Copies of this chain bind each other. A is one copy, B any other.
Amino acid sequence: MKRAIGVIDSGVGGLTVAHELMRQLPKERLIYLGDTLRCPYGPRSKKEIVQFTWEMVDFLLEKEIKMLVIACNTATAYTLEELQKQLNIPVIGVIQPGARAAIKVTKNNRIGIIGTEGTIRSRAYAQALTRINEHIMVTPLACPLFVPMVEQGILAGQQAYDIVEKSLIPLRSSEIDTLILGCTHYPLIKDIIQEVLGSEVSLISSSEETARETSIILEWNHLLNDSEEAPKHQFYTTGELDIFTKITEEIFHSKIENLQTVMIEKAVIC
């Protein structure tokens, strides 16, 4: 099954999912589309998010993908159910994998979630968690500054630390032992978040967990690639290449050898 896995995101955050997919499923080919031009999705209306997501999906369907990964929490919150119903390929989002991993890790059933305003407003994580275990106490927190900060390439240093520290103050009294990074941009500032919260809080990266669930769903649907050929990935962005390239290098650095061969084109979205 040589067809590719399609990965969509509002921008560069989904590259953390793509990176984990390459690491955990090195035989699989990816086609990535980041809607950098219209990023962030977090503060947008449901209508806009649904429309933009469908435009990305249509672009990838033409490339005959075998599975779709919605590597954006906001888009997952508003479109997963609809896409699962309407597409005839498996579709997974990033919310359920993060929720399940958090349930596995927590000892005291107190789980925090940080995400964009859109993700937090949707209550999708709280629903995913309490649907499985009604005793989970959920502490949600919107962190609207994190995505713009990451998209500008600010991933370390005092400025980043100050923004993270101030944003997370509301979590101090929550007694959570597990925090879901409910946005695929956040793994890029994971070390700062861990430093601010201390080692007693376990961080759940929806990127790692989504890659793992992709592996399960591919196997379950007999879609794993058995070819020996090395996969040639394709990356598309709707916006400028500069930041995209910078962040791609930040995430993939020396561990990804085929970075040079990556094709980046402006996607035509109408």
By a beta-carbon cutoff of 8 Å, the part of chain A in contact with chain B is 24-27, 96, 100-101, 103-104, 131-135, 208, 211-213, 215-217, 219-220, 224, 226, 228
Given A212-B101, A212-B104, A224-B131, also A96-B24 (CB < 8 A)? no
Nearest chain B CB to A158 CB, angstrom units: 29
Let me know if B216 and A100 touch, CB within 8 A.
yes
Residue of B whose beta carbon sits closest to that of A25 = B132
Nearest chain B CB to A39 CB, angstrom units: 28
Let me know if B220 and A217 touch, CB within 8 A.
yes
Q: Specify how many copies of this chain sit in the oligomer.
A: 2
Nearest chain B CB to A253 CB, angstrom units: 15
Give the chain B neighbours of A101 by CB distance below 8 A.
212
Let me know if A132 and B100 touch, CB within 8 A.
no
Let me know if B132 and A24 touch, CB within 8 A.
yes
Give the chain B neighbours of A215 by CB distance below 8 A.
100, 103, 132
Q: Would you mind naming 29 contact pairs between A and B with Cβ atoms under 8 Å apart?
A: A24-B100, A24-B103, A24-B104, A24-B132, A25-B132, A26-B133, A26-B134, A26-B135, A27-B132, A27-B133, A27-B134, A96-B216, A96-B219, A100-B212, A100-B215, A100-B216, A101-B212, A103-B215, A104-B208, A104-B211, A104-B212, A131-B224, A131-B226, A132-B215, A213-B216, A216-B216, A216-B217, A217-B220, A220-B220
